[in-house]
Chains A and B, each alone.
Chain A
Amino acid sequence: MQVDLANLSLEENPDACILTSADGRVRFWNRGAEEVFGYAAAEALDQSLLDLVLQKSDLEAAREKFQQTAAGAPAVWECAARRKDGLLIYVDLSLKTVRRPEAGIDLMSVTAKDVTPLKVARDANLLEAKYRGLLDSTPDAIIMVNTTGRIVLLNGQAEEVFGYPRRDLIGQPVEILLPERFRGGHVGYRGNFLSQPRARPMGAGLELFGLRRDGVEFPVEISLSPLETEVGTLVMSAIRDITERKIQERRVQEANRLKSEFVANMSHELRTPLNGIIGFSEFLIDEKPGPLNPKQREYLHDILESGRHLLQLINDVLDLSKIEAGKMTLSPERFSVSEAMGEALTVIDAMAQEKGIDIRTAIDPQLGKVTLDRAKFKQVLYNLLSNAVKFTDDGGEVRIRAARSGPDRFQVQVADTGIGIRREDFSRLFAAFEQLESGADRRFQGTGLGLALTKRIVELQRGTIAVDSEVGKGSTFTVELPLAAEEVMA
């Protein structure tokens, strides 16, 4: 049997042996080319070779090499090429013209040798000598990847985290460390990062996962930064296994959920007997079952007030825990500030009249309507106004002002001539269960939750609350809110 050795050598050549027309279109594509670039001969024929396998950034240089070769000076160079599957490889390219004018042949012979493993091994050795000691001293797993996405360096922590010995990872595409479903997207993502390399911090953005050699996925936090080295730009990624932290986070979430549920149930259970305490004392004070003597009336009044105080406390605790659990909802509606103010004042006026306190309101007519949760807005007003009246001595004054404070914000100010607050106490003012004059001489009734709750409600609507005060002269609370708040669903 006659064997065509020349043909055999061409067919069995592990390198890509390609012929193109003078204008660069593929005319011949051997099996080696199929292996190196991943395209079958039928797919490659008639395509522009350079457009098919090179990255845009390398096109200009390659065209020059073609022209130089055509002019009689054969070119040899190394560059990155893109396989059909998107993977980048390094190739040594050599060009030579093939001209047989008598047969009308004017072609270009192109040989491409995949030198990726060689180059990676070379780079890996160089980098290992230079950076390994440094990398092993960091607590995170560190993996360095070259421009083709091949792993060129890793530290001991990376071996441990992913469960591979170093020799099994060097030269592999970094996608080997990702769960299957992320691999395709990652190849493209990697290309984007290299075209605009910039440091990206740990955990910025997405939920990411790594894949161990034994097939187990684990949550990771990754930070990326480009690193210029003598072998080109590398991408250094620091990888942290956050399995433990995720478990802790879930535990904390679960504990919080249980706490909120407990508070909600407890407040329901507490409210039920209060229904009886408040209801029956009210019923008795109204003398529905029969007449009372003055002492009985006084004591029943005390029971009723204590019951209402307890109910307020329970409602405030429930509100606070709802806000802390992220379960407080906001349902914004359009309403007029002065109307809402009037409604809050009808409740306060009785208290103020009893103490002879003069309340004056000045609402800028230009303020008009706002879009906020009306009930919550009134709750804030009510809390500030009842504090102002409560902490102001008989015959004092309370001034309310409301006006725009910016293109999309407005302010409500409540100023009193009350006992005032020491500057060093400002920060404690908004903490839960703090009433500044606590102790035996506590003159003022209150749950100690009002301002804590007010601050949380204001902040939930993207507003701010501030206080200014002078002891003995009075206090001014300023709430700033957006003219329109967004809806908050639980």
Chain B
Amino acid sequence: MKPARVLVVDDNPTNLKLASDVLDCAGFEVWKAADAEEALAVIQRTKPDLILMDIALPGMDGLTLTRRLKADASTRDIRIVALTAFAMKGDDEKAFAAGCDGYIPKPIDTRKLPAQIADLLQRSSPPS
């Protein structure tokens, strides 16, 4: 079976590398982007199955990008998982309201992350 394609979007290079390497090591095909623009460029080139999306991004933030992708018929079926360091009450609701399919608070647990991603990918596709 072809490995699932995951796009990791994070403006912090260390955290971007960490999440990417952990997923890469777990057998996913990983793409990276440091902001919304880079993410859109990657999505045009190769449509990922899932995006691990940092919320606080310079320029267009992660929630805005999520809303945009979920409004577009050609990208609507990409799973989007919000990733944020602000593990505050209400942040998860904001993420779901923007159209995210999952929510992972930072700091990420490297031992659980691959399973969390695989689990989200296995759920039935969102209606497109």
Complex Cα distance, B20 from A279, in Å, reads 12
B-chain residues with CB within 8 Å of residue A329 when the two chains form the complex: 89
Cβ of A296 within 8 Å of any chain B Cβ, yes or no, is no
Would you call A276 an interface residue if the criterion is a C-beta within 8 Å of the partner chain's C-beta atoms? yes
Selected from B15, B25, B89, B111, the residue in CB contact (under 8 A) with A276 is: B15
Whether A279 lies near B107 (C-beta < 8 A) is yes
| B111 x A282 contact (CB < 8 A) | yes
Q: How far is the CA of A274 from the CA of B85 in the complex (A)?
A: 11
- In chain A, positions 273-287 with a C-beta closer than 8 Å to chain B are 273-276, 278-280, 282-283, 286
A276 and B14 contact, CB distance less than 8 A = yes
Q: Is B64 an interface residue (CB 8 A)?
A: no
With A268-B86, A289-B25 as contacts: A275 and B15 at CB distance below 8 Å: yes
Tell me how far the C-beta of B97 lies from the nearest C-beta in chain A, rounded to whole angstroms.
19
Q: Once the chains bind, are A271 and B85 in contact (CB under 8 Å)?
A: yes
Main secondary structure of the interface of B (DSSP, over half): loop
Q: Inside 8 A of B106's CB, which chain A residues have their CB?
A: 271-272, 275
How far does the Cβ of A331 sit from chain B's closest Cβ, in whole Å? 8
- A280 & B86 in contact (Cβ 8 Å cutoff): no
Chain B: interface size category: 10 to 19
Q: Smallest CB–CB gap between B93 and chain A, Å?
A: 13
CB proximity of A286 to chain B, nearest CB, Å: 7
Q: Bound state CA distance, A279 and B114, in angstroms? A: 13
Q: State the CA gap A280–B107 with chains docked (Å).
A: 11
Q: Is the CB of B18 within 8 A of A274?
A: no
What 0/1 pattern do residues 90 to 118 of B give for CB contact below 8 A with A?
A: 00000000000000001111110000000
29 A/B residue pairs, CB under 8 Å, sorted by A: A268-B85, A271-B85, A271-B106, A272-B12, A272-B15, A272-B85, A272-B106, A275-B12, A275-B14, A275-B15, A275-B108, A276-B12, A276-B14, A276-B15, A278-B107, A279-B18, A279-B108, A279-B110, A282-B109, A282-B110, A283-B18, A283-B21, A283-B22, A283-B110, A286-B110, A286-B111, A288-B25, A289-B21, A311-B107
Q: Interface residues, chain A, CB within 8 Å of chain B?
A: 268, 271-276, 278-280, 282-283, 286, 288-289, 311, 329
Interface residues of B (CB under 8 A from A): 12, 14-15, 18, 21-22, 25, 85-86, 89, 106-111
